[in-house]
Amino acid sequence: MALPPGAIRIEASAQQAKLVSAPHPVYPPTARQAQVSGTVRLSVLIGKDGAVQHIEVMSGHPLLVPAALDSVRQWVYQQTLLNGQPVQVATTVDVNFQLGQ
């Protein structure tokens, strides 16, 4: 994902600590029936208000991607400030799907 002007890139682990709300994805029934598990990696742009603005799929099983997207679209982060001003943040997010959860 191209970095918009004024946005900053933050490591996934650092941004994870700023999560305020992160609904868990619903395991897709077709993926569960097919015994599909794994990780969906997403490139995410977080707005100045902490809401997810844009998502691009980097990798993941096609049966799991829609559920990961639906979940991450609802995530909310604390604002990230740079010199006292809110900024957009680009980061990566891993959504893990494990059978039996």
Number of other residues whose CB lies within 10 A of the CB of residue 94? 14
Locate the domains of the chain by residue range: 10-23+36-97
Burial string for 10-34 (b: 16+ CB within 10 Å, else e) reads beeeebeebeeeeeebebbeebeee
pLDDT value of position 5:
86
pLDDT (tens digit per residue) in 44-86: 999 999 999 999 999 999 999 999 999 999 999 999 999 999 9
CA–CA distance, 7 with 70 (Å, rounded to integer):
24
In the three-class reduction of DSSP (H, G, I as helix; E, B as strand; rest coil), residue 84 is classed as coil
User: Position 55: which residue type?
Assistant: I
* Fold held by 10-23+36-97: TolA/TonB C-terminal domain (3.30.2420)
Predicted TM-score (pTM) of this structure: 0.91
In tens, the pLDDT along 10-23 reads: 999 999 999 999 99
User: Which two tokens mark 41?
Assistant: 């990696």
Flag whether pLDDT at 4 surpasses 90.
no
pLDDT > 90? residue 1 = no
